[in-house]
Amino acid sequence: MRNLKDLTYGIVGLGIMGGSIAKAIRENILCQSGSTGKIYVCNRSTSCLTQALNEGIADKAFTSNEYEKMLPECDFVYVCLYPHATIDFLEQNKKFFKSGAIVTDISGVKGIFEKSLPEILRPDVDFIIGHPMAGGEKEGYVNSTAKMFINHNYILCPLPENKAENLEIMRNFISEIGFTRITETTCDIHDYKIGFTSQLCHVIACSLVDSAKDEQITAFGGGSFEDLTRIAMINAPLWTELFISNKEKLVGHIENFENQINKFKNAIKNEDKDSLMKLMEESREKRIKMGSIRTVAKK
């Protein structure tokens, strides 16, 4: 099996995610003794490329006109672009991938990949569908960090055509860069569950901020409002794409949530103490069963 420390990695898109992946590879994989591996990076704007070279994170940097130079050399390509940009990138650069390369991406919706992959990739290139469950409300390479993934979850959606050896390389890679829990499932289940844990939460956080009458409200904050709205500092173009790509599932989740909040509202309106107690006892018990989830400290 190919050894992670000797692969040439290609990072396409050097924002907060691409940057963090590059830094985590440098710090956890290429630092191993005898490593012959390399990190190649490319990005549309070039200031982060210079920075990554200066910091010793990248061995070579390419602009977005130079994919044909970079891709043929990469054993493992990590596409860190928006979802539709990722599909466009795969389609437009199909012929440049190295034969036998592993290709993966970071996109938060997966169904669209399962549908398009057969048409847009060569059979000798192994695209492994997955989703690193990490990120931050701050964007760009300047906010990337090698520690981004420690104690986080990763979702893999293996396809029948993925090679067993490549899946094993992928799992090792994910663990090496810091993730502690890998869940394997289908694209459909991924999109359903992420629609709930991530997309619905972002819709709620934004709606809550939008419904604030008063920006000075924070003198009255005790922690709850802050916790619920941290993620409202949202990247609008990215999340517009994610929400619309997962429309049916997300709208279903919003409707379930609306039904629940409506139960609360009615119980409060009617001063129905028994129903309120029951609703809150259920949520307390359910939330405790869900466990502590992640133990990672906030950045």
How many residues in total does the chain contain? 299
One-letter amino acid for residue 64 of the chain: S
Nearer to its own copies, 36 or 207 (CB): 207
Which element (helix H / strand E) includes 182? strand 181-184
Nearest-approach distance from CB 6 to its own copies, in angstroms: 31
Nearer to its own copies, 35 or 186 (CB): 186
Which element (helix H / strand E) includes 9? strand 8-12
Report whether 12 contacts 81 (CB < 8 A): yes
Nearer to its own copies, 144 or 229 (CB): 229
Q: Residue 14, SS3?
A: coil
Nearer to its own copies, 93 or 235 (CB): 235
Nearer to its own copies, 8 or 107 (CB): 107
Complete edge-to-edge strand list for the sheet that includes strand 60-63: 60-63, 38-43, 8-12, 76-79, 102-105, 126-133, 153-157, 181-184
How much of the chain is helix, strand and coil, in % rounded to 5?
Answer: 55, 15, 35
Q: How far, in whole angstroms, is CA 180 from its chain's centroid?
A: 15
Nearer to its own copies, 35 or 175 (CB): 175
Decide: residue 293, CB within 10 A, 0-12 exposed, 13-18 middle, 19+ buried.
exposed
* Angle in degrees, 0-180, between the axes of helices 187-194 and 111-120, rounded to the nearest 10: 140
At 71, give phi and psi (nearest 5°).
-60, -40
Nearer to its own copies, 95 or 289 (CB): 289
Nearest-approach distance from CB 89 to its own copies, in angstroms: 21
Nearest-approach distance from CB 1 to its own copies, in angstroms: 27
Nearest-approach distance from CB 128 to its own copies, in angstroms: 18
Structure tokens at 293: 């989830």
User: How far is Cα 222 from Cα 227, in angstroms, rounded to an integer?
Assistant: 10
* Angle in degrees, 0-180, between the axes of helices 273-290 and 247-269, rounded to the nearest 10: 140
Q: Residue 2, SS3?
A: coil
At 60, give phi and psi (nearest 5°).
-145, 150
Nearer to its own copies, 115 or 230 (CB): 230
